[in-house]
Amino acid sequence: MIALRPAKPTDAGAVGGILSEFVDTTDWMPQIHTRAEDIAHAGALIERGWVTVAEIDGAVVGFAACNDAELNALYVAKCKRGSGIGSELLAALQQTRSRLELWTFEVNTRAQSFYERHGFTEVTRTDGKTNDEKLPDIRFEWQKGGS
């Protein structure tokens, strides 16, 4: 059973590990940060109170980082992808907000399909020159009660 809860400082290692694992297992994603930097970034997001983790049997298997309407991150451990954890994290955010917005990379068609299934619509695209990874990206938005 999946349990959602606010992240604690001690979750930074698990959250950072999920971030690192995504980069390590995604051939199109450039590795621009060390594992230590991923953990530090996770710790900063947790300290701001933005992170909700998903647990199964006490192990962190996914997380979402959201600042007001800006969904900064939603990642699930590779061994649990496709099992509904991302959907549960996103649904929890959609229950407590009237709108959400996010960026995803153009090459990440799996994420695009996921967000479209959950009511998000494409707003704009960029050539990626302004993001750290230098990859073309897409801005999506969702509004409660939207079509």
Q: What is the CA radius of gyration of the chain?
A: 15
Domain at 2-143: CATH code: 3.40.630.30
pLDDT band at residue 3 under the 50/70/90 scheme: very high
d(CA 31, CA 47): 24
Distances in Å between the Cα of 120 and the Cα atoms of 18, 22, 54, 58, 126 are 24, 22, 22, 31, 17
Domain boundaries, the chain: 2-143
d(CA 137, CA 147): 23
Residue-wise pLDDT for 66-84, tens only, equals 999 999 999 999 999 999 9
Residue-wise pLDDT for 27-81, tens only, equals 998 899 999 999 999 999 999 999 999 999 999 999 999 999 999 999 999 999 9
Q: How far is CA 16 from the centre of its chain?
A: 12
Both tokens of 138, joined, read: 């897409």
Q: Is the dihedral of CA 83, 141, 74, 8 positive or negative?
A: negative
Containing H/E element for 43?
helix 35-47
In eight-state DSSP terms, residue 120 is -
User: Quick one: angle between helices 12-24 and 35-47, nearest 10?
Assistant: 130
